[in-house]
Amino acid sequence: MNGRVTAANGRSEGRPSRQINVVLRSAEPPLISSAVPEREPSPSPNPVSQHSLFQEIQKELDQLVGLDQIKELVFEIYALLQVAQMRSEAGLLSGGHVFHMIFKGNPGTGKTTVARIIAKLFQKMGVLNKGHLVEVERADLVGEYIGHTAQKTRDLVKKALGGILFIDEAYSLARGGEKDFGKEAIDTLVKAMEDHKNQFVLILAGYSDEIDYFMSTNPGLHSRFPIQMEFPDYNLDQLIQISELMAKERDYILMPQSLGKLKEHLQNEKEQRLHAFSNARYVRNLIEKSIRNQSVRLLNQYVTGNPGKLELMTLRPEDFKLNGKLQ
Ligand SMILES: Nc1ncnc2c1ncn2[C@@H]1O[C@H](COP(=O)(O)OP(=O)(O)OP(=O)(O)O)[C@@H](O)[C@H]1O
């Protein structure tokens, strides 16, 4: 992966929004940053920009099926930042919050997607000045000789300054024990969290039990990650909703018979793969495969002339014939 840097997700359609009844204020001043004295008054508020800011974040959250607790937690962070600003304006202490997080969940449950939304929230609220996401895994951090790991890790932290460093399968850093270079990466990260306080947010992500094991083997780490989010597996109905959403985003529709076929297929895969079932990512791959199948079917079917608009949009049950394994 080598430290992929991605911008926040900017999809535009969504289901109805939850009503937020708080006073909305300016996005400009950094709220919780070591660079700003905690009692310094903020510039005058600009309710309009702040209002549209949260609407934008909320729109992105609303596009995600399920994840109710995660959505509540994101709102909690937003509320904290808003009130911190009001407190700062009232001359009260408002800083000192730690935002490093643990994301627990199986593959494809929305961890990276939510991390991007949070990065955007932090950027808009002035906590992080760039709001980008640097997504890494063990191989990006761990080197091949003494000192190499520390250098690689420091470089990635540097790249993440002003944004979020997202470490997928974080527990793999502890897999080789004391002698493994993974330990060097952990120590370097802990040091970076002190050296660059408030300049980046670290998110450790992975399977729930493995993250728990990882934290238990590093007792000093626990208190450094006060925010924990659990990403549950999607149930069958949610996977179907996600399928419809993904098809719609691509200008396709699913016939009722296609939905039936999809449901049956997803149920089997979920039962067979258990923890290895990659939830919404599996659905995305499935929809994309069916779109390829539909293209082949249409080309074979319409040797002369073109299919009509509805035909071009429709994914039929036969398009869900899957030869070969999807991930
Ligand atoms: N609740 C959801 N509603 C709609 N789409 C979703 C939802 N959750 C995830 N997706 C989509 O599924 C795909 C995979 O999601 P994402 O990469 O965020 O999962 P992840 O938990 O980070 O996976 P991994 O741990 O394997 O990296 C993305 O295309 C994302 O947009």
What is the model's pLDDT at position 85? 87
What is the model's pLDDT at position 112? 94
Q: Which of 71, 281, 282 to mutate to test the pocket of ligand 1 (most atoms within 8 A of CB)?
A: 281
Calculate the alpha carbon distances from 131 to 42, 150, 158 in Å.
Answer: 21, 24, 14
Q: Which part of the chain has CATH 1.10.8.60?
A: 236-320
What is the model's pLDDT at position 7? 44
What is the model's pLDDT at position 49? 56
What is the model's pLDDT at position 142? 86
Architecture of the domain whose range is 236-320: Orthogonal Bundle (1.10)
What is the model's pLDDT at position 90? 94
Q: Which part of the chain has CATH 3.40.50.300?
A: 4-231
Task: Compute the distance between CA of residue 277 and CA of residue 267 in angstroms, rounded to an integer.
Answer: 11
* CA 303 to centroid of ligand 1, rounded, Å: 38
With a cut of 70, list the residues of the chain below it in pLDDT: 1-51, 177-179, 323-327
Task: Compute the distance between CA of residue 55 and CA of residue 49 in angstroms, rounded to an integer.
Answer: 10
What is the model's pLDDT at position 95? 79
What is the model's pLDDT at position 185? 87
* CA 3 to centroid of ligand 1, rounded, Å: 18
What is the model's pLDDT at position 257? 93
- Asked if 38 and 97 count as a contact pair (C-beta separation under 8 A), the reply is no
- Asked if 294 and 312 count as a contact pair (C-beta separation under 8 A), the reply is no
Architecture of the domain whose range is 4-231: 3-Layer(aba) Sandwich (3.40)
pLDDT digits (tens, 9 = 90+) for 249-303: 999 999 999 999 999 999 988 888 777 789 999 999 999 999 999 999 999 999 8
Name the token pair of 265: 């297929």
Pocket lining for ligand 1, CB < 6 angstroms: 64-67, 105, 107-113, 168, 242, 245, 280-281, 284
- Asked if 217 and 176 count as a contact pair (C-beta separation under 8 A), the reply is no
